[in-house]
Amino acid sequence: MDERHLKNLLFDLDGTLTDPKEGITKSVEYALNKFDIQVEHLDLLIPYIGPPLYNSFMELNAFTAEHSLRAVEFYRERYRSVGIYENKVIAGIPQLLEELQTMGFDLYVATSKPTVFAEEILKHYGLDHFFKHVGGSNLDGTRALKKDVIQYVLDENSLHPEQSLMIGDRKHDIIGAQACGVTSLGVTFGYGPEEELLAAGADYIAYQVSEIRELVLQINLNES
């Protein structure tokens, strides 16, 4: 097999496989309320979807490191019991995963969400059987950056970067893939606009779920 033959597909979770908007924004609101911060509309919290929460509390609310740690704890109070299930599978994703699996690709998840939450979500929505491995962050906050998660998935499964493709909806997915020497495919049906993905340097863009399969085939052809 050609060393650049595409074989491994790494998927982001939030905004790529599922739409977690309700659960994440309501849990962030819950955490912010603990600091007497009121939110006018949940849509204002959409930027929290995707990046590591600890970083987001510092960047978006100017929290100190200590307050960010507390905010993540408050977030999880609500998320682990309620928010995790305020989620829904993006239309067409199960069919796409089945097609890609049938075509012989190995599928993985690479997410900044804690692994324990990611595994529960995939199991709850019947997607877990499609993936050979689920890589996420640790509950103690380590391995939260996307580049670290992607590298972890590559290392744990002895995957070659040149045979792998990262598929995600935020700039962090693209930047993380680049840092690991992995080709990137940005999707615009999640929470990162096309401009964000292109500015980050996405190699390919899919505007709807159905385009991912064709792009994967195109990339495979280009790299064979």
Q: pLDDT by residue (tens digit) across 126-136?
A: 999 999 999 99
- Backbone φ and ψ for 35, nearest 5 degrees, come out as -105, 20
Q: How many angstroms separate the CA atoms of 184 and 182, rounded?
A: 6
What confidence tens digit (pLDDT) does each residue in 56-113 have? 999 999 999 999 999 999 999 999 999 999 999 999 999 999 999 999 999 999 999 9
pLDDT value at position 74?
A: 98
Same fold: 8-19+88-223 with 21-85 = no
12 is catalytic: yes
pLDDT value at position 1?
A: 35
Hey, what CATH class is 8-19+88-223 in?
alpha beta
- State the chain's mean pLDDT as an integer: 95
Q: What percent of the chain has pLDDT over 90?
A: 93
pLDDT band at 20 (very low <50, low <70, confident <90, very high): very high
Domain-wise residue ranges, the chain: 8-19+88-223, 21-85
CATH number of 21-85: 1.10.150.240
